[in-house]
């Protein structure tokens, strides 16, 4: 069961991460199932989820990926998008999707950034986390 928005974001990130290298043989539903099963005893299975926000994040990132990646590329200094670790790229994509395409009354940009930084603590090392934080803070300051 998805407990809160942070948990929803975590499952979305895990699902999208799996889809980076396996879009031709892994369905979105299978990626979500694997992400939900993560950390659970496979014998126990997982609860089926019909959480609208989970699908909003996953579908939104997939639908707007080119636009989101352009925003990332436009804000990189001495880097290219293909140099970004895949998990960090997914964290950035989810946060930027929320910043650009989710109503700010529902998810303020500062919340999207804070959540991404907190979630990156579980997925990345300190250096990657600083990179994610720096890029998102730059975007946040541009949008003020």
75 band by pLDDT with thresholds 50, 70 and 90: very high
More confident residue, 52 or 68: 68
Confidence of residue 42 (pLDDT cuts 50, 70, 90): very low
- Going 34 to 39 to 41 to 47, the CA torsion angle's sign is negative
Question: Tens of pLDDT along 94-114?
Answer: 999 999 999 989 999 999 999
Q: What is the pLDDT of residues 6-30, one digit of tens each?
A: 888 999 999 999 998 776 778 888 8
CA distance 78 to 91: 20
CA–CA dist 50, 143 (Å, integer): 32
Q: What is the mean pLDDT of residues 41-66?
A: 76
Mean per-residue pLDDT, 22-42: 74
């Amino acid at each position: 069961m998805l407990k809160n928005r942070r948990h929803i974001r975590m499952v979305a990130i895990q699902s999208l991460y799996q889809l980076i290298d396996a879009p031709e043989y892994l369905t979105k539903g299978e990626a979500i199932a694997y992400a939900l099963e993560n950390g659970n005893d496979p014998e126990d299975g997982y609860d089926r989820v019909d959480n609208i926000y989970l699908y909003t994040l996953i579908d939104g990132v997939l639908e707007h990926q080119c636009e989101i990646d352009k925003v990332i590329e436009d804000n990189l200094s001495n880097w290219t998008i293909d140099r970004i670790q895949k998990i960090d790229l997914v964290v950035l994509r989810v946060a930027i999707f929320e910043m650009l395409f989710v109503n700010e009354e529902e998810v303020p940009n500062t919340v999207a950034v804070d959540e991404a930084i907190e979630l990156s603590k579980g997925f990345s090392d300190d250096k990657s986390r600083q990179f994610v934080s720096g890029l998102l803070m730059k975007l946040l300051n541009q949008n003020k």
